[in-house]
């Protein structure tokens, strides 16, 4: 049986394709997928468009059930999916957030060039691999008590900065300042606490990484200059999330939501979209627990960044401050947030689910750092470890069309199983080394799963977002050294 999707995709304009409300009974809004005509067939290669249509059934959904050009099959929502629900009669769905709550990315700069770093690259990657634990179930040197974890859940990245893992300015450069309001530690289960206690400051597994990159192209030199970026400058990207704690929060509340669907007589076409009214006890409890897990993820990335700064300092025998290691920004990819948007020409507070999608707010928006008010929010888009990653900025058009959202990465072309059947970790490592990219991973299996050919071309995904006007390219970064989970 083919996995190809054969449903209707009506062309709206050069970069938007509509799944009409008439496609399935019960759709409250149409589906809307961002992609160009040249690559639209890629969208049909799995059933992710069906998930876009299914999400359109959620009570209170407004506008459209959206998908970014990195769309692929996920749990509940497609990865790359965005959906907003009204607060008064809408729902919240863990399947619209994901298991790795606040999986996200941060980018920090250095004042080093590729020529400065290249002689030390092997040693630097090796030391980062040793200093920042990675892999399935990895545990860090920071083993916290339950009380300390509860503080992390409610304070987020601020907890880490208070403990000496970073600087106050780091919080200014983090989405939500690294702490989501409404988080309640007592809504997180003991099992989730137990999983989170030994894992703060660890990378995790799968597509998580720490990557040393060099800027090889600038698309907007004025914005780049305001960010302190130039060609041939070395930067570092950290991609991780809430580890076992966030996974457990999602697992726990999916069971709660399955009961809530029956209790509130909610009709959904896919049980993976199990949900509860936002104003119900179940909905409020999940939001509070999800926010707590998001705070854990921000603290996790904050601690890892501190360890990475220290490692650079060890290798180059200079203080991180003297190496110019300032945080540019940190964005969340898997999250649900209460935001105000214009819907049907009226200001409306909605719950925006972003599942494998990045917030992309425009210049002047009150929720972005003041020093970025004239350029817009940085949008960080990691690619695969063989090609490139991007820095973009948010736009007014994104606010109008996508609830202020953009893509979050390249998007998978192959499942992990299929990728492992087509290549080996040793082969991937060897090919990358031939390209001057040094890679260390917790296992060779992970390298095979994360082979560049398992992903769409991030250059094309980002081009669609740029030309569609939902985020604008500023810089492209080429990988030099990669630590993989």
What's the pLDDT tens digit per position in 327-369? 999 999 999 999 999 999 999 999 999 999 999 999 999 999 9
Question: Residue 196's pLDDT is what?
Answer: 95
CB 414 within 8 A of CB 454: yes
320 CB neighbour count, 10 Å cutoff: 20
pLDDT at 376 (0 to 100): 98
- CA pair distance 380, 361, nearest whole angstrom: 12
pLDDT, mean over the chain: 94
86-102: per-residue pLDDT in tens? Answer: 999 999 999 999 999 99
Asked if residue 424 is part of any domain, the answer here is no
419 confidence band (pLDDT: 50, 70, 90)? low
The pLDDT of residue 216 is 97
Is the pLDDT higher at 183 or at 415? Answer: 183
Which band of pLDDT confidence, cut at 50, 70 and 90, is reported for residue 431? confident
Share of the chain above pLDDT 70, in %: 98
- Measured CA to CA, the distance from residue 223 to residue 207 in angstroms comes to 29
The secondary element (H helix, E strand) that includes residue 291 is helix 281-316
CA 340 to the chain's CA centroid: 21
> Residue 421 falls within a domain, yes or no?
no
Q: How many Cβ atoms sit within 10 Å of the Cβ of residue 44?
A: 15
Q: What is the mean pLDDT of residues 426-439?
A: 87
Top-confidence residue, 147 or 136: 147
pTM: 0.95
Q: Dig out the tokens for 184 from the structure.
A: 């309640």
pLDDT band at 441; cut points 50, 70, 90: confident
Question: Does the residue 301 lie in any domain?
Answer: yes
Highest averaged pLDDT of the listed ranges 1-15, 91-105, 405-419? 91-105
Q: How far is CA 175 from CA 294, 308, 337, 360, 399, in A?
A: 11, 20, 12, 11, 16
* Predicted confidence (pLDDT) at residue 422 exceeds the cutoff of 90: no
Residue 5 lies in a domain: no
CA gap 284, 304 in Å, rounded: 31
Segment (H or E) for 211: strand 209-218
Q: How much is the pLDDT for 414?
A: 63
Q: Find the mean pLDDT for residues 280-309.
A: 98
Rounded CA separation 380/392 (Å): 6
Q: What is the mean pLDDT of residues 297-314?
A: 97
The half-sphere exposure of 472 on its side-chain side, counting CA atoms within 13 A, is 18
Tokens linked to 24: 């399935």
- 3-class state of residue 276 by DSSP: strand
Structure confidence at residue 160 as a pLDDT band (50, 70, 90):
very high
* pLDDT given at position 426: 78
| pLDDT value at residue 256 | 98
Q: Which residues are catalytic?
A: 408
Question: Would residue 234 count as lying in a domain?
Answer: yes
Task: Say what the pLDDT of residue 463 is.
Answer: 97
How far, in Å, are 139, 204, 261, 407 from residue 451 at the CA level? Answer: 25, 17, 39, 20
Average pLDDT of the segment spanning 169-173: 98
CATH code, domain with 313: 3.90.1860.10
Is 426 a member of any domain? no
pLDDT tens readout for residues 231-253: 999 999 999 999 999 999 999 99
pLDDT at 141 over 60: yes
pLDDT tens for 388-401 read 999 999 999 999 99
Residues spanned by the domain of 474: 10-413+455-484
Asked, for residue 448, whether it belongs to a domain, the answer is no
The confidence score (pLDDT) of residue 433 equals: 87
pLDDT at residue number 73:
95
| Residue-level pLDDT at 410 | 83
Domains identified in the chain, total number:
1
Average pLDDT score over residue span 100-128: 98
- Average pLDDT value for residue range 409-418: 74
Residue 136 has pLDDT above 80, yes or no: no
- Do residues 138 and 442 make contact, with C-beta atoms less than 8 angstroms apart? yes
193 against 413, higher pLDDT: 193
Mean pLDDT over 165-172 rounds to: 97
| pLDDT, average across residues 433-442 | 88
Higher pLDDT, 420 or 474: 474
In a domain, 432, yes or no: no
Contact 396, 464 (CB under 8 A): no
Say whether pLDDT at 1 is over 60: no
Distances (CA, A) of 359 to 233, 257, 339, 405: 25, 26, 11, 4
Q: Is the pLDDT of residue 287 over 60?
A: yes
């Amino acid at each position: 049986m083919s996995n190809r999707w054969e449903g209707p995709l009506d062309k709206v304009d050069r970069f938007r394709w509509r799944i009409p409300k008439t496609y399935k009974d019960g759709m409250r809004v149409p589906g809307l997928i961002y992609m160009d005509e040249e690559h639209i067939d890629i969208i049909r290669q799995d059933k992710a468009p069906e998930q876009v249509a299914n999400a359109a059934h959620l009570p209170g959904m407004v506008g459209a059930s959206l998908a970014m050009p990195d769309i692929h099959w996920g749990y509940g929502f497609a990865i790359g999916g965005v959906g907003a629900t009204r607060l008064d009669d809408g729902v919240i769905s863990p399947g619209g957030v994901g298991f790795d709550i606040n999986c996200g990315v941060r980018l920090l700069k250095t004042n080093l060039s590729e020529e400065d770093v290249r002689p030390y690259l092997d040693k630097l990657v090796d030391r980062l691999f040793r200093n920042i634990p990675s892999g399935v179930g990895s545990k860090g040197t920071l083993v916290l008590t339950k009380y300390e974890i509860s503080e992390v859940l409610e304070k987020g990245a601020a907890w880490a900065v208070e403990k000496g893992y970073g600087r106050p300015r780091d919080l200014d450069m983090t989405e939500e300042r690294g702490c989501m309001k409404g988080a309640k530690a007592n809504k997180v289960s003991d099992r989730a606490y137990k999983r989170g206690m030994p894992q703060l400051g660890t990378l995790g597994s799968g597509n998580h990484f720490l990557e040393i990159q060099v800027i090889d192209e600038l698309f907007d030199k004025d914005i780049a200059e305001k960010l302190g970026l130039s060609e041939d400058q070395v930067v570092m990207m950290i991609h991780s999330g809430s580890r076992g704690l966030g996974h457990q929060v999602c697992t726990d509340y999916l069971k709660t939501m399955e009961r809530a669907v029956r209790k509130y007589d909610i009709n959904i076409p896919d049980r993976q979209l199990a949900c509860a009214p936002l104003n119900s006890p179940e909905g409020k409890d999940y939001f509070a627990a999800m926010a707590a897990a998001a705070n854990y993820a921000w603290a996790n990335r904050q601690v890892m960044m501190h360890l990475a700064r220290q490692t650079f300092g060890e290798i180059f025998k200079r203080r991180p401050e003297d190496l110019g290691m300032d945080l540019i920004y940190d964005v969340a990819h898997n999250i649900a947030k209460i935001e105000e948007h214009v819907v049907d020409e009226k200001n409306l507070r909605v719950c925006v689910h972003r599942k494998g999608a990045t917030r992309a707010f425009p210049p002047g928006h009150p929720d972005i750092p003041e020093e970025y008010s004239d350029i817009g929010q940085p949008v960080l888009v990691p690619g695969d470890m063989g090609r490139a990653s991007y820095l973009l900025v948010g736009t007014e058009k994104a606010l109008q069309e996508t609830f202020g959202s953009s893509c979050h990465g390249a998007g998978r072309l192959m499942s992990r199983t299929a990728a492992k059947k087509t290549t080996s970790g040793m082969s991937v490592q060897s090919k990358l080394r031939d390209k001057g990219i040094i890679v260390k991973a917790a296992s060779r299996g992970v390298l095979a799963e994360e082979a560049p050919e398992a992903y769409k071309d991030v250059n094309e995904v980002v081009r669609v977002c740029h030309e569609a006007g939902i985020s604008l390219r500023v810089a492209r970064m080429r990988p030099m050294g990669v630590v993989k989970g």
